[in-house]
Amino acid sequence: MSKRVLTTESGAPVADNQNSASAGLGGPLLLQDQHLLEKLARFNRERIPERVVHARGSGAYGYFEVTDDVTGFTRANFLGEVGKRTETFIRFSTVADNLGGADAVRDPRGFALKFYTEEGNYDLVGNNTPVFFLNDPVKFPDFIHSQKRDPFTGKQEPDNVWDFWAHSPQSTHQITWLMGDRGIPASYRHMNGFGSHTYQWTNAEGEAFFVKYHFKTNQGIRCLSSEQGAELAGSDANSHQTDLLQAIERGVNPSWTLHVQVMPAAEAAEYRFNPFDVTKVWPHADYPLQRVGRLVLDRNPDNVFAEVEQAAFSPNNFVPGIGPSPDKMLQGRLFAYADAHRYRLGVNHTQLPVNAPKATKADNYGRDGVMSTRYGRRHDKNYEPNSYEGPAQTDQALSAPLALSGWTGTHENAVHVKDDDFFQAGELYRLMSDEEKSRLIANIAGGLSQVTRDDVIEKNLAHFHAADQEYGKRVQEAVRALRED
């Protein structure tokens, strides 16, 4: 069989890929060496800006299969029939570190899932925790700045991390999750995933429900201690990537069972917690988990850059029957995620194979821009409305309308009967075993004891005291002991 011919970008054959053209033997190189210049120029441009958050990630293809009837809650086509399968792509990630960071670190994990449905792509962009640090997007850039590398020292600083948290009592619940036993998953396969935010489902009759997504790992929960995480991060920075890749290559396909909590829309206003505050959970006793289906990962990407690094997820990619809620953090993400990808990948990033619809096709009046591959049919118009049989609107809203009232202006989150920043953090602490509590205390104290300002330490201690008196007292004593050593 004849060898494939190496070519330039324009398709011309390359005569010599081992030696550059020069002015005689040993002479200076020639500007006319098109292959050399093209190769170096392309190499200089191989990297795109990394994600500001969730830079370090791994991905895989798979499918979602419906196992239970949920048509009473949503008219989403891909959830409309038991046994129906939809192709998916998932990206797991850490949050704070850079692209070259280690996998086995104490950090929330991104759990971003793309469903290639017959009604367009649906993106569910969540984490491996059911809550988050903040409930207003205006503070998100500040939060990330506090967790990333300090502009002067060039490394993550405990002073910055804990100073921000000291001024953000709503973070106490998520801190308790992060510093607990599930703060370092042993692998991506051995952690749960959550939509975290509240979303809206609408059924065929127009009835609206608010939902929370829970993906329960079928491999079982496995986590690492701080010591195990540090050892693994030092010996194999790519541990989670390796584990996911090798498991799928061996045919050991990881899977998760999707459950949802369902709240009739009419109950939201009077619920004891603000159901749209992402720092809160809905206790299962109030809204039990209802099974929907299973997610299976069965194929690795062929090219990590093309399919994982260029994968773009946006929470505003909804399909009929699914929509947003008034969750402030979600509302901010509806803009921020898509805009981040326009910056990183260009306005036509949705035409890349990993991001393009698979079970349908995009058909709209967007044209041109860098790297556009959408040409349309000959004589197609690029405006609407028109008289030339171009695509037209359906006049059918994707989800039910949300009732609005009040005055414009900046407002704090609505406070419900049981709302505060500490109750649920205390509930989580009290659910832990004695051994889990001890590890949580040690993890918190290990970071907080490195803070140089006493007032910042005291503010954080006050949060833990407010969550649970024993919790606060034990953190206080552990911090004092470490600072006296």
* Active-site amino acid positions: 54, 127
Q: Quote the CA–CA distance of 439 and 168 in Å, as a whole number.
A: 23
Q: Is 287 exposed, middle or buried (0-12, 13-18, 19+ CB in 10 A)?
A: buried
What is the number of other CB atoms lying within 10 angstroms of the CB of residue 72? 12
Q: How far is CA 219 from the centre of its chain?
A: 21
Q: Quote the CA–CA distance of 90 and 297 in Å, as a whole number.
A: 8
* Terminal alpha carbon distance of the chain: 71
Q: How far is CA 84 from the centre of its chain?
A: 25
Q: How far is CA 175 from the centre of its chain?
A: 18
Residues 107/94, Cβ–Cβ less than 8 Å: yes
Residues 133/174, Cβ–Cβ less than 8 Å: yes
Q: Which long-range contacts (CB under 8 A, 24 or more apart) does 143-150 make?
A: 143/168, 144/52, 144/53, 144/96, 147/95, 147/96, 148/96
Q: Are strands 322-323 and 290-299 parallel, antiparallel or unpaired?
A: unpaired
Q: Quote the CA–CA distance of 477 and 472 in Å, as a whole number.
A: 9
Distances (CA, A) of 195 to 86, 125, 200, 354: 18, 6, 12, 21
Q: What is the DSSP string of 301-329?
A: -S-HIIIIIT----TT---TTEE--S-HH
Those residues whose C-beta lies under 8 Å from the C-beta of residue 436, and which sit 6 or more positions away, are 180, 181
Residues 333/137, Cβ–Cβ less than 8 Å: yes
Q: Residue 208's beta-bridge partner residues?
A: 202
Residues 188/92, Cβ–Cβ less than 8 Å: yes
